[in-house]
Amino acid sequence: MICREIMEAIEKAYPAECALEWDNVGLLAGRDDKEVRRIYIALDATDEVIEAAVFAGVDMLVTHHPLVFGGMKRINNRDFIGRRLLKLIREDIPCYAMHTNYDVCRMGRLAGEYLGFEDPEVLEVTHEGDVPLGIGEIADLSREMSLDKMAEKVKAAFGLSQVKIFGKLEKMIGRAAVCPGSGKSVIKEAVRKGADVLITGDIGHHDGIDAAAQGMAVIDAGHYGVEHIFMEDVKRYLDGALDGVEVIAAPVLHPFQVI
């Protein structure tokens, strides 16, 4: 298959127009007429990911987070983004990002599935329709549990060794919201919709204590900690949607260490 056919298959399920207006999704570098027999899927186009893609002999790199986000006036070897782009182009590996279009169409629902949500609704609706789409999910739990038990459930669901908690550990949780990635922007909506806890990442000190002061606990499981589920999910989708193309998902490797 050629690159543009794979892009069409991706955008059939995750339309580019579903991305939020500030985002940068789609083919960010490379040729859309490249013949593709092997795809590498990762959360970020880091140096290590690009090296692994080259080593694996892939023909296309698909990431969640865009390699090119803000405006670039020049591409050269004097900054790390430029070096990555030059390597991808030199190796003839098209780089495609599916970011908030995937978040809106799939990520929240997927995270809810990991947590065992039943009868969920979209947390923050961005696209109205017969089936509303948007960021995150919220649901009533089938049974209440304490905040510390909920934290253990989150750790088990996403394969984490630790999480950060804002709120009293004995607080009872009957309604939970999840927003993979950075969830600061949905705190207000989660409080408005009656969440007892928000499961997300990248929550700062003031955001966390302010949420707790409004009666909603926060479990910060890390940006990568919740979003790494993207890789295996997109691999499953592409395995079923593409013929004659091998799809490789990057291993789950957290980009930091805690000592």
Query: Model confidence over 19-62: pLDDT tens digits?
Result: 999 999 999 999 999 999 999 999 999 999 999 999 999 999 99
- Is 259 a member of any domain? no
pLDDT by residue for the chain (259 residues), tens only, comes to: 999 999 999 999 999 999 999 999 999 999 999 999 999 999 999 999 999 999 999 999 999 999 999 888 999 999 999 999 999 999 999 999 999 999 999 999 999 999 999 999 999 999 998 999 999 999 999 999 999 999 999 999 999 999 999 999 999 999 999 999 999 999 999 999 999 999 999 999 999 999 999 999 999 999 999 999 999 999 999 999 999 999 999 999 999 998 8
Same domain, 128 and 214: yes
Query: Exposure of 257 by Cβ count < 10 A (0-12 exposed, 13-18 middle, 19+ buried)?
Result: exposed
Same domain, 64 and 115: no
Same domain, 238 and 210: no
pTM equals 0.96
Q: What is the tally of structural domains in the chain?
A: 2
CATH code of the domain containing 201: 3.40.1390.30
- Is 255 a member of any domain? no
Same domain, 119 and 198: yes
- Is 254 a member of any domain? no
**Cβ-count burial 240-254 (b if 16+ within 10 Å, e if not):** eebeebbbbbbeeee
pLDDT > 90 fraction of the chain, expressed in percent and rounded: 98
- Is 63 a member of any domain? yes
How many CA atoms are closer than 13 Å to the CA of 78, on its beta-carbon side?
5
Same domain, 132 and 67: no
Same domain, 78 and 161: no
Same domain, 198 and 136: yes
Cα separation, 129 vs 23, whole angstroms? 22
Cα separation, 151 vs 133, whole angstroms? 27
Same domain, 109 and 67: no
Same domain, 220 and 236: no
- Structural domain boundaries enclosing 206: 105-224
- Is 256 a member of any domain? no
Same domain, 93 and 171: no
Cα separation, 182 vs 13, whole angstroms? 23
- Is 174 a member of any domain? yes
Same domain, 205 and 118: yes
Same domain, 112 and 78: no
